[in-house]
Amino acid sequence: MAQTKAGKNNSTKPVRDAEATQAVILAAAEEEFAQNGLTATRTEAIAAKTGVAKSMIYYYFKDKEGLYRAVLERSHADLLRAIQNLDLEQLSPEVALEKFLRTLLDCVSRNPRLPTIMFHEAVQNQGKYYESSSSVNIDTVLINILERGVRTEVFRSLDPFQSAINIMGACLFYFIGAGNIQRFPQGKQLLSKAMLERHTQESISLILAGVRQS
């Protein structure tokens, strides 16, 4: 599916680049899906953002659902890879937890749309497009860390399953609120570099203090 790339373009063909077109479609689609979810997103809105014809979506991704799948996979890839490569087994629970959180927060800070994409998928589609893979594993990693911490008594005797959810919430909710919270006092830039770093730090502090054995 790859031809007419730049460079070979020295003759007749105008500005046609399959990969580039796909890329702009994916980028625009990610924005739209993040805000609206699968059903409420209009293919026309995506097309409008890209500047390319609406029919290009169907040419490259078959239909809206195909595009959605592509966006879902693409947007989760970074995080999944990062979490999988973490190798936390030989770290102390506390260090492991901090490393996990920093990785998670780093990824979503780089792509703040990811949390809202996850949430739309979870709420609207009940995670049906996740199949057996994806975000489920992330929670499992976290649960394991917590279990180990409780067992070795460096963490207080919390419920690992419940706490994992609450911890994810503490980290990710920020990005969900971001759109809404813009209309807060003198419009703080929640997604500015400084604020994102602060969020990372505050989240980690809250959680580490929250799980630690007192």
Partner DNA sequence: GTCTATACGAGGATAGAC
Partner DNA sequence: GTCTATCCTCGTATAGAC
Q: Which residues bind its own copies (CB under 8 A)?
A: 34-40, 116, 119-124, 126-127, 130, 136, 156, 158-159, 161-163, 165-174, 176-177, 179-184, 188, 198-199, 202-203, 205-207, 209-212, 214
**In terms of CB distance, is 58 or 129 closer to DNA?**
58
Q: How many CA atoms lie within 13 A of 184 on its CB side?
A: 9
Show the tokens assigned to 209: 């203090």
Count each helix (H run) and each strand (E run) in the chain, helices first.
9, 0
Report the site for DNA in 60-119 (rule: CB under 7 A).
Answer: 62-65
Interface stretch with DNA, choices 17-25, 69-77, 143-151, 201-209 (CB under 7 A): 17-25
**In terms of CB distance, is 90 or 132 closer to its own copies?**
132
**In terms of CB distance, is 63 or 202 closer to DNA?**
63
> Which listed option, its own copies, DNA, none, makes contact with residue 59 (CB within 5 to 8 Å by class)?
DNA
Q: Is 8 in the site for DNA (CB under 7 A)?
A: no
User: Rounded distance, CA 172 to CA 55, Å?
Assistant: 35
**In terms of CB distance, is 15 or 194 closer to DNA?**
15
Q: Is 55 in the site for DNA (CB under 7 A)?
A: yes
Alpha-carbon dihedral angle through residues 120, 126, 131, 136, given to the nearest 10 degrees: 80
> Which listed option, DNA, its own copies, none, makes contact with residue 52 (CB within 5 to 8 Å by class)?
DNA
| SS3 assignment, position 149 | helix
Q: How far is the CB of 203 from its own copies (least distance, A)?
A: 6
User: Rounded distance, CA 40 to CA 38, Å?
Assistant: 6
Provide the b/e sequence for 175-188 (b: ≥16 CB within 10 Å).
beebeeeeeeeeee
187 in the Ramachandran plot: left (φ > 0), alpha (ψ -120 to 50) or beta? left
| SS3 assignment, position 192 | coil
Q: Per-residue string for binding with DNA, 32-51, x by CB under 7 A?
A: ---------xxxx------x
By CB under 7 A, the count of residues binding DNA is: 25
Q: How many CA atoms lie within 13 A of 44 on its CB side?
A: 0
- Positions touching DNA (CB under 7 A) are 1-4, 16-18, 20-21, 41-44, 51-56, 58-59, 62-65
